[in-house]
Structure 1
Amino acid sequence: MPRRLVLNAQKLDYGDAEQVRLLLTISDVTEARISEKLKDDLLREKAILLQELQHRVANSLQIIASVLMQSARRVQSEETRGHLHDAHNRVMSIATVQQQLAASRLGDVELRGYLTQLCQSLGASMIHDHDQVSLAVTADDSSVNADISVSLGLIVTELVINALKHAFPGERSGKILVDYLSRGQDWTLSVSDDGVGTPQSLADAKPGLGTSIVEALANQLKATVDTAGAHPGTTVSIVHTVSDVGGVDPAKVA
């Protein structure tokens, strides 16, 4: 196998203009070049496999969502149909989060663009009349790693689904606002609506699956969940305070 050599010449200055001295070094970089090429090949193969995995995940989620929707059309029970529709919406929300992350660059995720694109996808698939119900996003310049962005994205989709399901009964119009604000290492993610609010009967009822999912994701982020009346409407806030979690900061703020 041919070897790769690097020749380096450096002039030595001893103050003698008549005699020029050179220091020559020869380095064998064959193994280093082979290792570098192997690393590049592995990274390229990893990128191809990751892309293939993303396609397979997206296709699988679409198949599951289609099966759930077909099942919802066939069943006679309204309660069962409602549960199947809820399951379909959750699968689609996961698919939306996966799609947004696949489209983003590796590394930290800029939240304003991520949440905006996420809510645009949610609105396109779940809001039938955009003149009746609007969905908007406000966020600062924060960035978080991919794992944190997945949890935040799933929380947003669960809360948006819940607002669309309960806040605007009948032909009631309204607005949903998703907001993210950070102060140092502390941050707050909130989803607000100006709908009918939470009836006392629902407030006293056992928490549903969506609430359990949001609370579990908030626990992973070492954050708390706060629900308050917005008069009109409801605001659900996910609050992370470093002083409350022993200095642990799961989110990196740019």
Structure 2
Amino acid sequence: MKHIGDFDLCDRLSPTIPVWVTQVGVGLLSVVAARIVRMIFDIVAGGAAPFALIYPAIMLATLFARAFAGVITATIMILYIWYYLYPIENSFRFANPAEAFSVIVVVITAIMTILIAELFRSVARKATQERDRQIADRDLFLAEFDHRMKNNFAIVAGLLDMQKRRASNPATAEALETAQMRVDSIARAHRHLYRGSGQPGAVEMKEYLGDLCAALSESLFPRGGITLVCNSDKAAVPRDRAVSIGLVINELVTNAAKHAFPGREVGTIVVTFRAKPDGWVVMVADDGVGMPEAVATPGPDHGLGSRLIEAFARQAGGAITTESDGTGTRVTMGLAA
């Protein structure tokens, strides 16, 4: 139970069960529970401190079912103990004035306990309501922020698409299409971040990468000759690192689509994401022709794509290694948690 204000039985059971019925029921249950505990105590020290269990019983009844439940608990327990146990069994008489004063003190302290418990319950309830209001305001703000960000991404993607369609130079159109896919990768990570599932501020990678690979396959391989496969573990990755991982995968898949299958209409690209105890591993492998020996390892002198891969990998906190031979290319990025 995170907050006592979240567990008001009167609110939870109403209107199915009337409030007064809940309060009477909680009061009686508190009395029975206190009596059972008293019987256990009597085995060890019979008759000692007869009024001791009144106060925790009153407090619990008040906290869970408001002040009236505490009053019921206090009334029943005080009258029961007074008549059957203290000071004279089976009688409300007192042997001396001190015993009467003791019962009066018990009544006063019981009333004080009820008041304190009710005050605490009311404060906790108000704090819970304020917390719920703040959460609702935050959710409304995030929803509005999410909506605006979606619109912004859509505008940027639309502008890039419009410029691509107007570009007369094929190289320019290709560059604009690549930029559009990068924007789409970031936008998809944003959508998965604000879906309200998983850890706050984190992206669920299995869903995100599955969505990203589906979009890349549709965009890069419309004819369906090249197959893009996504194998991903379930893992919640912090937003910024997830975006960088998505961008690395976007660049690697795009590079493979451009260079791995010259003169071929069939092939396979496999994107793999594995969660390990100390971090994550990302691999993009293809069964293409491989890379020329001179450019098997990415470096600063290569093209924009290679430099972007290195930059995005650094942002994700990962290190890139590349293996390439006649059976294809495998690029692996290891990331520490």
- TM exceeding 0.5: yes
Aligned equivalent of 2:334, options 235, 239, 244: 239
- Give 1:140-155 correspondences, 5 Å limit: 140-155=233-248
* Paired residue secondary structure (2:227): strand
* Paired residue secondary structure (1:206): coil
Normalised TM-score (structure 2): 0.60
Could you list the runs of 5+ residues in structure 1 that have no partner in the other structure?
A: 241-248
Counterpart in the other structure of 1:120: 214
* Paired residue secondary structure (1:103): coil
Counterpart in the other structure of 2:321: 226
Q: Which has the higher helix share?
A: 2
For 2:170 and 2:204, how far apart are their aligned partners in 1? 41
CA pair 148-77 structure 1, distance change in 2 beyond 3 A? closer
Residues 51-60 or 8-17, more deviating: 8-17
For 2:220 and 2:181, how far apart are their aligned partners in 1? 8
Q: Which has the higher strand share?
A: 1
- Give 1:84-233 correspondences, 5 Å limit: 84-103=176-195, 105-107=197-199, 108-130=202-224, 132-200=225-293, 206-233=301-328
Cα distance per residue 1:111-141 (max 9 Å; x no partner): 33332233123223332022x1111122344
* Paired residue secondary structure (1:25): helix
* Paired residue secondary structure (1:227): strand
Amino acid at match of 2:206: R
Matched-pair contact (CA < 8 Å) for 1:69–1:88: yes
Counterpart in the other structure of 1:62: 154
Counterpart in the other structure of 1:38: 130
Residues 200-209 or 143-152, more deviating: 200-209
Q: How many residues align?
A: 237
Matched-pair contact (CA < 8 Å) for 1:100–1:117: no
* Paired residue secondary structure (1:210): helix
Residues 114-123 or 142-151, more deviating: 142-151
For 2:310 and 2:300, how far apart are their aligned partners in 1? 16
Amino acid at match of 1:101: L
For 1:51 and 1:234, how far apart are their aligned partners in 2? 42
* Paired residue secondary structure (2:229): strand
Matched-pair contact (CA < 8 Å) for 2:229–2:270: yes
Offset at 1:239? 1.5
Aligned equivalent of 1:71, options 163, 170, 175: 163
Offset at 1:68? 1.4
Offset at 1:157? 1.9
Relative CO higher for 1 or 2, CA cutoff 8 Å, sep ≥ 6? 1
Could you list the runs of 5+ residues in structure 2 that have no partner in the other structure?
A: 1-62, 87-102
Offset at 1:183? 3.7
Counterpart in the other structure of 1:244: none
Offset at 1:104? 5.5
Matched-pair contact (CA < 8 Å) for 2:189–2:208: no
CA pair 116-89 structure 1, distance change in 2 beyond 3 A? closer
Q: Percent identity?
A: 31
CA pair 230-200 structure 1, distance change in 2 beyond 3 A? closer
Counterpart in the other structure of 2:21: none
Offset at 1:110? 4.1
Runs (4 or more) in structure 1 with deviation over 6 Å come to 12-16
Cα distance per residue 1:214-247 (max 9 Å; x no partner): 323322343210111053221111013xxxxxxx
Offset at 1:185? 0.8
Matched, 1:25 2:89: no
* Root mean square deviation of aligned Cα: 3.1
**Rg larger for:** 2
For 1:146 and 1:153, how far apart are their aligned partners in 2? 11
Offset at 1:155? 2.0
Matched-pair contact (CA < 8 Å) for 2:323–2:331: yes
Aligned equivalent of 1:83, options 169, 172, 175: 175
CA pair 101-135 structure 1, distance change in 2 beyond 3 A? farther
